[in-house]
């Protein structure tokens, strides 16, 4: 195995601590509890996946940490555009699918790569997939992301937001899977600011998401709300299986399928030529699945 940097070890420990904090705080809002699955990867490395299911608040959620290392396969060489022979990556990935259509789905990923050619980089981001037009929630979400990013790297939010709008766009549908957030990739691993950005993003998660969950978890919802949520979950599945880099990287690096695909919702709908009722909140919601400004 290649020799890893001190920075790698520090971030690995940080992400493990963050996983414990996040799962503990989410459990306080539910009747269900996370179960833990510790796994090993025969090619090198392993991880700790925590899953919550069938709760009164969270229908399905996963918070996973992993450290994966090994040889750079031909498939990875093509994807990463590298001639390195060995790689190592540590990361945290989470996706929370609430039961209520009034609470948005959220995704966060933080990852750090090192290669044996001294090339290293950070990637990650947070994005929100709401199902009901609570505009104040969208503004809170983006305001907090702007504050987090700009406090570490001045004026970086606007760049990372634009990157997210582009990345999470479902090209064959002509729409985003949600209302975006921030996204970055291939940020120089030797730049200390990028390490700080990864830390700050992880630390901001609870302050970003929990206020929305607490505000919406007791709101009533009906079968029409649920139908729309399931249709949009279908879009979520389409994006993850066709475009998502993390999913593609995981499968090409012989990753553990259960952990890679934990991001998929427990239920989704693929209704033929589905369209919302005129003047419904769902028709209104569709216009928000396009890039737009949420904070000045």
Residue 114 in tokens = 């090192």
Contact 93, 246 (CB under 8 A): yes
Residue 130 in tokens = 């709401």
Q: Mean pLDDT for each consecutive 10-residue tract of the chain (296 residues)?
A: 91 98 98 96 92 97 94 72 84 97 98 92 97 98 98 98 97 96 97 98 98 98 98 95 83 76 91 95 97 93
Question: Length of the chain, please?
Answer: 296
Per CATH, the number for 6-286 is: 3.40.1500.10
Extract the runs of DSSP E, i.e. beta strands, from the chain: 35-40, 45-53, 58-71, 86-98, 105-115, 120-129, 169-170, 175-176, 181-188
User: CA-to-CA distance for 296 and 245, rounded, in angstroms?
Assistant: 30
CA 37 from chain centre, in angstroms, equals 19
Residue with tokens 């249709």: 231
pLDDT at 111: 96
Nearest to 235 by CA among 164, 172, 152, 143: 172
Contact 29, 211 (CB under 8 A): no
Residue with tokens 């259509």: 101
Contact 257, 251 (CB under 8 A): yes
- Which of the 8 DSSP states describes residue 4? P
Contact 49, 259 (CB under 8 A): yes
Residue 163 in tokens = 């990157």
Determine which one of 97, 107, 140, 194 is catalytic: 107
134 is catalytic: no
User: CA-to-CA distance for 112 and 187, rounded, in angstroms?
Assistant: 9
DSSP for 119-171? Answer: -EEEEEEEEEE-SS--HHHHHHHHHHHHHHHHHHSTT-HHHHHHHHHHHTEET
pLDDT at 53: 97
pLDDT at 77: 67
């Amino acid at each position: 195995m290649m020799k890893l940097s001190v920075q790698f070890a520090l971030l690995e420990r940080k992400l493990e601590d963050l996983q414990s904090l996040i799962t503990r705080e989410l459990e306080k809002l539910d009747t269900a509890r996370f179960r833990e699955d510790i796994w090993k990867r025969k090619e090198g490395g392993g991880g700790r996946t925590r899953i919550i299911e069938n709760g009164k608040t969270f229908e399905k959620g996963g918070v996973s940490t992993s450290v994966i290392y090994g040889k750079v396969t031909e498939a990875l060489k093509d994807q990463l555009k590298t001639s390195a022979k060995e790689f190592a990556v540590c990361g945290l990935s989470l996706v929370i699918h609430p039961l209520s259509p009034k609470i948005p789905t959220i995704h966060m990923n933080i990852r750090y790569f090192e290669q044996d050619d001294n090339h290293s980089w950070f990637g990650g981001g947070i994005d929100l997939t709401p199902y009901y037009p609570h505009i104040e929630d969208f503004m809170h979400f983006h305001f907090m992301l702007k504050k987090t990013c700009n406090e570490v790297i001045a004026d970086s939010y606007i760049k990372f937001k634009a990157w997210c709008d582009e990345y999470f766009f479902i090209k064959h549908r002509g729409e985003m899977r949600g209302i975006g957030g921030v996204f970055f990739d291939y940020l120089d691993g030797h730049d200390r600011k990028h390490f700080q950005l990864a830390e700050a993003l992880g630390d901001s998660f609870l302050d970003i998401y929990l206020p929305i969950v607490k505000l919406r978890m007791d709101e009533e919802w009906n079968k029409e709300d649920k139908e729309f949520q399931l249709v949009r979950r279908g879009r979520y599945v389409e994006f993850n299986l066709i475009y998502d880099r993390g999913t593609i990287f995981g499968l090409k690096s012989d990753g553990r399928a259960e952990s890679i695909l934990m991001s998929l919702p427990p239920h989704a709908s693929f209704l033929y030529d589905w369209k919302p009722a005129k003047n419904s909140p769902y028709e209104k919601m569709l216009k928000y699945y396009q890039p737009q400004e949420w904070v000045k």
